[in-house]
Chains A and B, each alone.
Chain A
Amino acid sequence: MRTLALTLTAGLATLAWTCAIAADQADQIIRGQYQAVLGDCAGCHTRPGGKPLAGGLPLETPFGALIPPNITPDSETGIGNWSEADFRNMMKTGIGHNGVRLYPAMPYPAYTRMTDQDISDLWAYLTTVDPISNKVEANQLPFPLNIRLSMWGWNLLNFSETPFTPDPSKPAEWNRGAYIVQGPGHCGTCHTPKSFLGADKDSVFLQGASLQGWFAPDITNNAQSGLGKWSEDDLIQYLKTGVNAHSIASGPMAEAVENSTSKMTDADLKAVAVYLKSLGSDAGAAQPAKPDQARMVAGEAIYRDNCSACHGGDGSGAGALFPALTGNSIIAQDNTETLARLVLAGSQAVHTEHARTTPAMPSLAWRLNDQQVADVLTYVRNSWGNAAPAVSSGDVAAVRKELTQ
């Protein structure tokens, strides 16, 4: 009888202990799933309509194409043979399983700032994803860049393993925002200008950069080109829904909103907003020259006939359906790649749980020639209080060439 009681007690204790472990593990996996949202792993590693994390669409970098690999736990084609130490090392240094050097299209220069705990949680989650057999040849670069050892030199020049260090003089919320933006959120991967070697130029952190045929705008608090006219709530609303009174997300940011920011917690969005609004930059403060009057006249005629029906005669837009063109920072960026692209190719607004309508702008490439697109953009960039340099037809021609290739 006593033996039985002891056995039972021991059994119950073991069971409770196992449950506690399981509960701990479940918590860790759920936290890791949220890390995957913050890091937007799916944005690159999941092909649209494809199996989750089984490999993505090619990334067209200025150096050549890279295909985001399969990061499901499949041991043949995924990361099933990796250890947690391999994974942490890769996130921190860009050197993966068996010493393979990653290209910085994988944003390890940002992920290196993540805490060990967050990386460990993320790993716990990744081990629970359905293993998918899908062989991906990630490296499509031309010689000699296709030699991964060349990244040794790149890292020497451009990379240092730096953990995130909180600024004790700032509130915890600001530090949380800084951590997300600089670390897992890797905002700088798109929004920070790159050196000729493709490394982030930290002196102009988040001041806008061109990639994949779009211009990721300045997201510092700059009044002209940045978020200066946005309130914290505007920014939170944009990240949560993809839409606010100033702008509607499209292009790569639409994907980032859909897969990542719209799924972040309200507290984290607030932290990101607090941090971004604290970043000053004085880029683009100079008043640009007034554009040629004839071009403004032509631009106004083109605007009246093609744009005003949705964006309004005075550029005021229509709420969440058609973005306002006044005080819209996309309009004022120095780089006009995104603007020319929107007019030529059209665009569809992001789809999120909170904004499901996905209004779309039609393609006007058939109706307007390069000069006309340049004139109407010049008009919009210099009307209703906007002031930005004139757009040349050559800039538009370059975007059209890329779009029609």
Chain B
Amino acid sequence: MSHRYPIRVNRRLFLSSVAMLTITAPAVSLARTISGALPWEPMTSDPPMQVVPGGWQFFTPQEAALVEAIVDRLIPHDDLSIGGKEAGCAVYIDRQLVGAFGTSSRLYTQGPFKPALPTQGYQGEANPAQRYRAGLAAIDAFLKQRDGKTFVELKPEDQDAFLTAMETGKIELPNGVKGPGFFGLMLQNTMEGFFADPVYGGNKDMVSWRMLGFPGARYDYRDHVAKHNQPYPQPPVSITGRPEWLGKGA
């Protein structure tokens, strides 16, 4: 039985652990004691940075054109809404890739890097910024070799066919880029851009929220809880507000 445990808890180990804990406990118990009013400062807030469209911060112009073409196939313009490009999905992805998401600065990024089960998500060494850089280059290289054209130059149905093949792993991208994994990353980020608050650069004019009837950054519905089978009357609101705040009407 005991051979299953790499460390056997014997008497000596137990005693030395207790000793270690006793030594280190005072150091970790230096918590602050707060009495009276909770600490509070005027004029303090931690709002998200407003993404201002215009220019690319991560993508090269060539990469940007490719990403804009892809997001416009993932969310095409139709009678329900504008397309992914016009909604700002590429701007959203660009700004995310220069931030904490792109560099994985808030994730554990050291090895070991082992093959993952499908349920475990991406387990590789590259961060999202590196994956985009390599993935977009691989798409260009693949299409140039196969069709002599870039993705942007393909007809929409050919673009769809390529993306479908990439998603299902039917094609082999160069430089070891895994088609299904990179497709999944782009699809995920495009949806985020389309549905996230406009403050982050996508979802222009709250287009997806208007489409769905989602009321946006609100958090109190007490006045409406008892009104059954009635549509919620307020229009959506972004973290940065809504047009009605300007006194000009919607």
How many residues belonging to B are interface residues under a CB distance threshold of 8 Å?
27
Contact A345 B241 (CB under 8 A): no
Report the separation of the CA atoms of residues A163 and B129 in the bound assembly, to the nearest whole angstrom.
Answer: 78
Q: Which of A305, A346, A363, A365 is B242 in contact with, Cβ under 8 Å? A: A305
Give the nearest-CB partner of A305 in chain B: B237
> Beyond A358-B37, A358-B38, is A301–B244 a contact (Cβ under 8 Å)?
yes
Contact A348 B37 (CB under 8 A): yes
Q: Does B24 contact A (CB under 8 A)?
A: no
Chain A interface residues (CB < 8 Å from chain B)? 294-295, 297-298, 301-302, 304-305, 308-310, 312-313, 344-348, 350-351, 358, 360, 362-368, 371-372, 375, 403-404
Which residues from A are CB-within-8-Å of B248?
294
Which residues from A are CB-within-8-Å of B222?
312-313
Report the separation of the CA atoms of residues A344 and B242 in the bound assembly, to the nearest whole angstrom.
Answer: 19
> Beyond A295-B247, A367-B240, is A309–B218 a contact (Cβ under 8 Å)?
yes
Report the separation of the CA atoms of residues A365 and B46 in the bound assembly, to the nearest whole angstrom.
Answer: 11
Contact B245 A305 (CB under 8 A): yes
User: How far is the CB of A219 from the nearest CB of chain B, in Å?
Assistant: 24
Q: Of residues A294, A301, A365, A371, which shows the largest number of chain B Cβ atoms within 10 Å of its Cβ?
A: A301
Contact B42 A346 (CB under 8 A): yes
Q: Which of B45, B223, B240 is A362 in contact with, Cβ under 8 Å? A: B45
Q: Does B249 contact A (CB under 8 A)?
A: yes
Which residues from A are CB-within-8-Å of B246?
298
- Between A and B, 23 residue pairs with Cβ closer than 8 Å are A298-B246, A298-B247, A301-B242, A301-B244, A301-B245, A302-B245, A305-B218, A305-B241, A305-B242, A309-B219, A312-B223, A344-B43, A345-B43, A346-B43, A348-B38, A350-B37, A351-B36, A363-B42, A365-B45, A367-B240, A372-B241, A375-B245, A403-B43
User: How far is the CB of B48 from the nearest CB of chain A, in Å?
Assistant: 10
Query: Which B residues between 212 and 246 are near A, CB-CB below 8 angstroms?
Result: 217-220, 222-223, 234, 237, 239-242, 244-246
Report the separation of the CA atoms of residues A112 and B157 in the bound assembly, to the nearest whole angstrom.
Answer: 91
Give the nearest-CB partner of B235 in chain A: A301
Which residues from B are CB-within-8-Å of A344?
43
Which residues from B are CB-within-8-Å of A404?
43
Q: Of residues B220, B240, B247, which shows the largest number of chain A Cβ atoms within 10 Å of its Cβ?
A: B247
Which residues from B are CB-within-8-Å of A309?
218-220
Give the nearest-CB partner of A293 in chain B: B247
Q: Does B5 contact A (CB under 8 A)?
A: no
Contact B37 A351 (CB under 8 A): yes
Q: Of residues A367, A371, A404, which shows the largest number of chain B Cβ atoms within 10 Å of its Cβ?
A: A367
Give the nearest-CB partner of B42 in chain A: A345
Which residues from B are CB-within-8-Å of A295?
247
Contact B218 A403 (CB under 8 A): no
Report the separation of the CA atoms of residues A360 and B42 in the bound assembly, to the nearest whole angstrom.
Answer: 10
Which residues from A are CB-within-8-Å of B220?
308-310
Apart from the given pairs A305-B237, A305-B245, A362-B45, 15 other A-B contacts in the complex at a CB distance below 8 Å: A295-B247, A297-B249, A298-B244, A298-B246, A304-B234, A309-B218, A312-B223, A346-B45, A348-B40, A358-B38, A364-B45, A365-B45, A366-B45, A368-B245, A375-B247
Which residues from B are CB-within-8-Å of A347?
42
Report the separation of the CA atoms of residues A372 and B219 in the bound assembly, to the nearest whole angstrom.
Answer: 20
Give the nearest-CB partner of A295 in chain B: B247
Give the nearest-CB partner of B239 in chain A: A367
Q: Which of A298, A351, A358 is B245 in contact with, Cβ under 8 Å? A: A298
Which residues from A are CB-within-8-Å of B40?
348, 358, 360
Give the nearest-CB partner of A349 in chain B: B37
Q: Does B121 contact A (CB under 8 A)?
A: no
Which residues from B are CB-within-8-Å of A297?
244, 247, 249
Give the nearest-CB partner of B240 in chain A: A367
User: How far is the CB of A40 from the nearest CB of chain B, in Å?
Assistant: 17
Which residues from B are CB-within-8-Å of A350?
37
> Beyond A309-B219, A313-B223, A358-B40, is A363–B45 a contact (Cβ under 8 Å)?
yes
Which residues from A are CB-within-8-Å of B223?
308, 312-313
Report the separation of the CA atoms of residues A305 and B234 in the bound assembly, to the nearest whole angstrom.
Answer: 9
Q: Does B44 contact A (CB under 8 A)?
A: yes
Give the nearest-CB partner of B218 in chain A: A305
Contact B241 A403 (CB under 8 A): no
Report the separation of the CA atoms of residues A375 and B222 in the bound assembly, to the nearest whole angstrom.
Answer: 24
Query: Which B residues between 183 and 222 are near A, CB-CB below 8 angstroms?
Result: 217-220, 222
Give the nearest-CB partner of B243 in chain A: A301
User: How far is the CB of A66 from the nearest CB of chain B, in Å?
Assistant: 22
Contact A294 B42 (CB under 8 A): no
Give the nearest-CB partner of A351 in chain B: B37
Report the separation of the CA atoms of residues A294 and B240 in the bound assembly, to the nearest whole angstrom.
Answer: 20
Contact A363 B43 (CB under 8 A): yes
User: How far is the CB of A334 from the nearest CB of chain B, in Å?
Assistant: 23
Give the nearest-CB partner of A251 in chain B: B42
> Beyond A301-B242, A403-B43, is A294–B247 a contact (Cβ under 8 Å)?
yes
Which residues from A are CB-within-8-Å of B247?
294-295, 297-298, 371, 375
User: How far is the CB of A184 from the nearest CB of chain B, in Å?
Assistant: 25
Give the nearest-CB partner of A310 in chain B: B220
Report the separation of the CA atoms of residues A348 and B42 in the bound assembly, to the nearest whole angstrom.
Answer: 8
Q: Does B47 contact A (CB under 8 A)?
A: yes
Report the separation of the CA atoms of residues A301 and B37 in the bound assembly, to the nearest whole angstrom.
Answer: 33
Contact B37 A372 (CB under 8 A): no
Give the nearest-CB partner of A345 in chain B: B42
- Top 6 closest pairs, chain A to chain B, by CB: A309-B220, A298-B247, A351-B37, A301-B244, A345-B42, A348-B40
